[in-house]
């Protein structure tokens, strides 16, 4: 069975919700989809400052922390990060940087890749965050599988490159059923591509 590693960073819980829904959709498509979080030594601080950060705090902490070895064992790598200033979070960037040990020898070359993000506003740089993750993937030799425009009949606001969730200025808008249908659609595309290989 092909293995998919969903590696994410989540503070308010929105990326966690997307990651778990993605996992369920990919498992339904016959992939061995596993959840991992990136290291975040400040998560407890955010939980004390933001009430919404407590909704999934314990569930997030219970997940294993991804490392560079996680990438080697994966056929499909999915990264998920909140959007901060049109880029990934510092924690996700640190994880991405840690995989640079595989850059010269190309150990990740040929593995499949996709990504998702949660941002405050549609104009908040979410598409740029997705592009930054894709740029990383291309440098590492990963093969990006885009969502494509076909998803327009489900959610016309989804970009071609990956899944985008708008959480509102206080991150209180949770992912919707419509986003769930877009994830199901994307999972079918990803599974079909990975299983053919």
The H or E element containing residue 36 is strand 32-37
Q: What is the pLDDT of residue 43?
A: 82
Q: How many helices (H) and strands (E) does the chain have?
A: 7, 6
Q: What is the pLDDT of residue 115?
A: 98
CATH class assigned to 3-190:
alpha beta
Domain ranges of the chain: 3-190
The two structure tokens encoding residue 176: 């919707």
Q: What is the pLDDT of residue 161?
A: 95
Tell me which residues of the chain have a pLDDT lower than 50: none
What is the distance between the alpha carbons of residues 120 and 99, in angstroms, rounded to a whole number?
Answer: 28
Q: What is the pLDDT of residue 111?
A: 98
**Taking each helix axis from N to C terminus, what angle separates 14-28 and 177-196, rounded to the nearest 10 degrees?**
50
Distances in Å between the Cα of 53 and the Cα atoms of 9, 46, 58, 68 are 12, 6, 10, 27
Q: What is the pLDDT of residue 190?
A: 98
The H or E element containing residue 43 is helix 43-49
């Amino acid at each position: 069975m092909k293995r998919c590693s969903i590696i994410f960073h989540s503070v308010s819980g929105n990326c966690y919700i997307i990651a778990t829904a993605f996992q369920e959709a990919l498992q339904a498509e016959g992939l061995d989809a596993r959840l991992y979080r990136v290291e975040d030594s400040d998560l407890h601080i955010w939980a004390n400052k933001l009430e919404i950060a407590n909704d999934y705090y314990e569930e997030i902490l219970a997940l294993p922390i991804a490392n560079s070895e996680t990438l080697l064992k994966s056929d499909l790598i999915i990264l998920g990060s909140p959007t901060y200033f049109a880029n990934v979070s510092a924690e996700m960037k640190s994880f991405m940087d840690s995989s640079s040990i595989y850059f010269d020898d190309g150990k990740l070359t040929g593995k499949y890749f996709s990504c998702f993000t949660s941002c405050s506003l549609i104009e908040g740089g979410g598409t740029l965050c997705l592009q930054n993750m894709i740029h990383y993937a291309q440098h590492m030799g990963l093969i990006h599988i885009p969502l494509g425009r076909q998803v327009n009949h489900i959610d016309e606001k989804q970009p071609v490159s990956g899944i985008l969730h708008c959480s509102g200025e206080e991150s209180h808008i949770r992912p919707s059923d419509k986003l769930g249908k877009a994830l199901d659609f994307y999972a079918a595309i990803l599974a079909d591509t990975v299983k053919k290989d």
